[in-house]
Amino acid sequence: MTKTPVVLTIAGTDSGGGAGASADLKTFASIGVHGTCAITSVTSQNTTGVISAYDLPSQVVKDQIDAVCTDMDVRWAKSGMLASPEIVSTVAEYIKKYDLSLVVDPVMAAEAGGDLLTTDALSVMRDELLPLCAVVTPNTYEASAISDITIEDREDAKRAAKAISDMGVPTVIVTGGHLDASDVVYESKNDTFTVISGKFIEGGTHGSGCTYSAALTAYLAQGHSVVDSARYAKRFVEHAIRESVSIGTGVAPVNQVAHIRKDAARYEVLDETGRAVEMLTGCESFAKLIPEVACNIAMAIPDACDVQDVAAVSGRIAKLKGKAVNVGCVEFGASSHVARIILAAMQFNKNIRASVNIKYSMDVLDVCKKLELTISSFDRADEPEKTSTMDWGVTHAIKEYGSVPDIISDVGGIGKEPMVRVLGSGALDVAKTAVRIAKELDEL
């Protein structure tokens, strides 16, 4: 059985939960390593900056590292906020004591504002800690402070990386979030530079540096090469920035677990949509509701942005010998038509995430009224030029009704079949409504 790597973060706390050990532990968990911690400083901090900081006594830092390393098989560690010369020296001593592979994140200032490293501590870091580490991950500001080289472009970053490496560091990664979004990786063993390109991502960046170095450490602990780990870590932090959520009045913290929640949501949507298809095809009465162009049922993940966030049947649900037949599998991006209905509705109500299109008739609309479903409609003849029918039609029907109704219909047009669309919170929700309509039609 493969053991889960145990990784240690030696860092300060952030009372706002966005950076420091909080960011590190969330990152470790989301990548799949077991995170442990040795707290060096307690900061009073929020999204607007650092209000105050209290450095823990060196003995307390030692006790924490001892507690973890005497009980668990720790191979990799990362350091973050090491505010005082005494703490830097303590960490250097204990890295040697337990022969740990160390990633140094030379934290000098909080993303939201506030100094976190004294000048004396930086000097001790240069002399005592950097020669012991495996990788150091300064941003351009930090790399300039450590190397005494002003960094204005990528060539400057390369010169600074090499100068830092000459202090005894095998690998230096100058992260480019403050320059051109590209990271420069310098490996001294073969005297090579690798540039990992990136792009500026819109979103909050509080905790981005901690998250990057923690992700790098986690991937290294899993056995990946330095360059691969750097690529994976960059991708991880870019996604965390993109999915950041504003929780205060200042810089929003990155979201390390967004990709896990999104992947889980995609699985749940696929599962529910598949069960909804089984419900429709298992109802003998539903076949009469299938239009000439066949029908489809779709469901979106929460906060869906485009068609690829909406799952539907790739080949639609057709009528064959009087029965509803599923002629495809449920996939994301399978139906642009129904997906646009849902995406348009979600602009008004985020909880409306599913739809199924069924055959139009006055009997169907009468049954919908009998079931006390809310109804609105649009007329294709009123559609402006150069617009998408579904985007415009659904938006128009919702605005006319005043909220998202249960049913949106249209009487068709030239070459366009009339249609009724059932909307709801989930695929099973709209499937149940469609089955109720079908069974009520049997009673007419």
Environment class of 1 (CB within 10 Å of its CB; exposed 0-12, middle 13-18, buried 19+): exposed
Contact between 217 and 77 under an 8 Å Cβ cutoff? The reply is: yes
Residue 113 pLDDT: 44
Is residue 114 over pLDDT 50? Answer: no
Q: What percentage of the chain reaches a pLDDT higher than 90? A: 84
Sign of dihedral through CA atoms 346, 348, 351, 355? negative
Band of residue 181 on the pLDDT scale cut at 50, 70, 90: confident
Is residue 10 over pLDDT 90? Answer: yes
Q: Which fold has domain 261-442?
A: L-fuculose-1-phosphate Aldolase (3.40.225)
Is residue 112 over pLDDT 90? Answer: no
Residue 108 pLDDT: 81
Is residue 277 over pLDDT 70? Answer: yes
Within 13 Å and on the Cβ side, how many CA atoms surround 122? 18
Q: Cα separation of 175 and 216, whole Å?
A: 12
pLDDT in tens, 351-379: 999 999 999 999 999 999 999 999 999 99
Residue 382 pLDDT: 86
Q: Which of 61, 34, 40 is nearest to 217 (CA)?
A: 34
Task: Please state the domain extents for the chain.
Answer: 6-255, 261-442
The verdict on domain 6-255 having CATH code 3.40.50.300 is no
Residue 164 pLDDT: 96
Residue 176 pLDDT: 82
Which residues on adjacent β-strands are paired with residue 318?
325
Mean pLDDT score across all residues of the chain: 93
Identity of the residue numbered 348? F
Hey, what are 349's tokens? 């109500």
Q: Cα separation of 397 and 375, whole Å?
A: 9
Q: Cα separation of 257 and 270, whole Å?
A: 20
Residue 177 pLDDT: 65
Which has the higher per-residue pLDDT, 168 or 123?
Answer: 168
Region 404-412 average pLDDT: 95
Residue 384 pLDDT: 86
pTM: 0.82
Q: Which phi and psi (to 5°) does residue 250 adopt?
A: -110, -145
Using alpha carbons, list the distances in angstroms from residue 314 to 112, 139, 153, 290, 417: 46, 46, 48, 16, 20
Which residues on adjacent β-strands are paired with residue 13?
42
